[in-house]
């Protein structure tokens, strides 16, 4: 995105503040376009004006141009987006469209193996900080060099409903597979200096995105420019060398491509980048070593500019660190990860159960919730809106404030759900005890600083009695 200020976008909008976009003012809409939480198409008046007069059409054209991401966004299948990056470093803005993780099947595998691998990809999910992390797609590799066999397996894999990559350098095999699954808009891999003319024809005929492949960056750029001139979406594969100096060269090529695209604004090479950690399986060694090295390569390029990957191992010890790392890299660094504030019932509490409070910072909330769930303790957990900040920071910054706690208690009607008036606060919020008692009229009990100790604390201090130590 070449524009850096919402004012630059605002100048091209109608300026009527009509609210049809869902925002109160055109300036607010412009700010949301800048952080990509709104689309230009949401401005109905501008779209309608552009149909009627050339001046408005020119404004719309310019607006689309200046707000387009520095790296092209490519769609695989129905809606899997890759690329679309704006910056080199996530702290500058954020990284959009997480690295897509594809896992391979070969057309020479038996039917049972194919089913098992596809099922693992489709069914995999890991709960992490309030959401389920999943896998993106399946790469079908033509190792038989048999067009009919490749097409048959591609059709079978497409039936699992995930986006697919068709992998073959043989244009005859690729065309046969595209006849079977081309309507699913797979990514085809790969056009090279040797076969590019055939792949260009296929990409145009079936309107599918294509990977262009070469270690030579000048050749890679030439191939990309040729396909883009024909309005074909392009993904770049600078060839992944899996070890030693080769891996270093791969890293350097990837960095050079991305820096050239964003800083040099080279439209020929501003495409998503494919990395193939599966190349680790060509290195000598046992399977454990290859899985380990494949995971290392994938992790390296999740951090540094890999937009899509093909991976072989479907073992949990390969997948889990990659999806977790990806989630961490692709969260928005400008906004803390947070959950909805409110009242949560843990382990079927009743009127005699304790009432506890925590913040809506996702990591804090899910840690507390998990510790309570696993301990078997039942309780009412108030979740305070602290703008996604943890306990200690929000106490210091004023987001964890007595008046906000009182308001939350009133909104959730917690007083109607219990027959006592005791509230357990985190140990890190102990300084607020007196102010909270004055504000809410409840007796405040200071719990442990670590929610992992809640079970023992509750066993000793709940229900409240003469043995409860209430700090003043």
> Taking the domains of the chain in order of start, what are their residue ranges?
6-67, 73-329, 342-461
Is 342-461 the same fold as 6-67?
no
**Span 193-243, pLDDT tens digits:** 999 999 999 999 999 999 999 999 999 999 999 999 999 999 999 999 999
451 pLDDT exceeds 80? yes
**Span 414-448, pLDDT tens digits:** 999 999 999 999 999 999 999 999 999 999 999 99
Q: What pLDDT was estimated at residue 468?
A: 44
From the CB of residue 131, how many other CB atoms can be counted at a distance below 10 Å?
12
How is residue 219 written in tokens?
A: 């050749």
Q: How far is CA 298 from the centre of its chain?
A: 16
Beta bridge partners of 138: 103, 164
From the CB of residue 469, how many other CB atoms can be counted at a distance below 10 Å?
8
Q: What pLDDT was estimated at residue 470?
A: 41
Which residues neighbour 58 within 8 Å (Cβ) at sequence distance 6 or greater? none
Is the CA virtual torsion 373, 376, 377, 378 positive or negative?
positive
421 CB burial (10 A radius; 0-12, 13-18, 19+)? middle
Give the CATH architecture of domain 73-329: Alpha-Beta Barrel (3.20)
HSE-up of 173 (CA within 13 Å, CB side)?
22
Average pLDDT of the segment spanning 444-455 = 94
Q: What pLDDT was estimated at residue 332?
A: 83
Spatial contact of 105 and 115, defined as CB atoms under 8 Å apart: no
pLDDT-derived band at 10 (thresholds 50, 70, 90) equals: confident
Bigger pLDDT: 285 vs 1: 285
Superfamily name with CATH number, domain 6-67: Electron transport complex subunit B, putative Fe-S cluster (1.10.15.40)
Q: Return the CATH class of domain 342-461.
A: alpha beta
Q: What pLDDT was estimated at residue 469?
A: 44
pLDDT-derived band at 337 (thresholds 50, 70, 90) equals: confident
């Amino acid at each position: 995105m070449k524009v850096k200020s919402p004012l630059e976008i605002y100048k091209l909008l109608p300026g009527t503040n009509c609210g049809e976009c869902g925002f109160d003012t055109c300036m607010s809409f412009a700010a949301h376009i800048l952080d990509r939480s709104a689309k230009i198409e949401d401005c109905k008046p501008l779209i309608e004006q552009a149909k009627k007069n050339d001046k408005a059409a020119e404004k719309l054209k310019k607006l689309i141009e200046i707000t387009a991401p520095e790296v092209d966004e490519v769609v695989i299948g129905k809606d899997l987006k890759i690329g679309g990056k704006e910056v080199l470093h996530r702290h500058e803005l954020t990284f959009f469209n997480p690295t897509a993780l594809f896992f391979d099947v070969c057309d020479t595998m038996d039917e049972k193996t194919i089913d098992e691998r596809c099922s693992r990809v489709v069914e995999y999910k890991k709960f992490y900080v309030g959401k389920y992390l999943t896998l993106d797609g399946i790469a079908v590799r033509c190792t038989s060099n048999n067009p009919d066999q490749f097409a048959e397996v591609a059709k079978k894999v497409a039936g699992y409903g995930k986006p697919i990559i068709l992998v073959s350098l043989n244009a005859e095999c690729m065309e046969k597979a595209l006849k079977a699954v081309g309507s699913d808009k797979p990514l085809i891999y790969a056009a090279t200096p040797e076969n590019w003319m055939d792949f260009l024809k296929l990409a145009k005929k079936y309107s599918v995105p294509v990977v262009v492949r070469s270690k030579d960056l000048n050749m890679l750029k030439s191939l990309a420019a040729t396909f883009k001139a024909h309005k074909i979406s392009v993904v770049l594969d600078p060839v992944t060398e899996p070890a030693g100096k080769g891996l270093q060269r791969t890293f350097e090529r990837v960095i050079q491509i991305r820096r050239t695209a964003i800083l040099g604004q080279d439209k020929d090479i501003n495409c998503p980048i494919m990395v193939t950690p599966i190349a680790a399986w060509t290195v000598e060694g046992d399977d454990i070593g290859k899985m380990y090295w494949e995971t290392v390569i994938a992790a390296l390029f999740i951090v540094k500019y890999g937009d899509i990957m093909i991976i072989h191992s479907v073992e949990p010890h390969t997948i889990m660190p990659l999806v977790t790392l990806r989630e961490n890299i692709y969260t928005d660094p400008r906004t803390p990860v947070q959950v909805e504030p409110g009242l949560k019932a843990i382990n079927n509490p009743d009127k005699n159960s304790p009432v506890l409070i925590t913040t809506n910072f996702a990591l804090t909330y899910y840690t507390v919730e998990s510790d309570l769930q696993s301990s078997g303790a039942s309780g009412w957990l108030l979740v305070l809106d602290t703008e996604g900040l943890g306990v200690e920071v929000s106490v210091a910054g004023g987001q964890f404030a007595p008046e906000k706690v009182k308001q939350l208690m009133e909104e959730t009607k917690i007083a109607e759900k219990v027959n006592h008036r005791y509230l357990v606060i985190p140990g890190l919020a102990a300084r607020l005890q007196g102010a909270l008692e004055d504000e809410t009229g409840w007796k405040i009990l200071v719990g442990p600083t670590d929610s992992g100790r809640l079970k023992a604390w509750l066993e000793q201090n709940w229900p409240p009695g003469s043995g409860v130590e209430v700090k003043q």
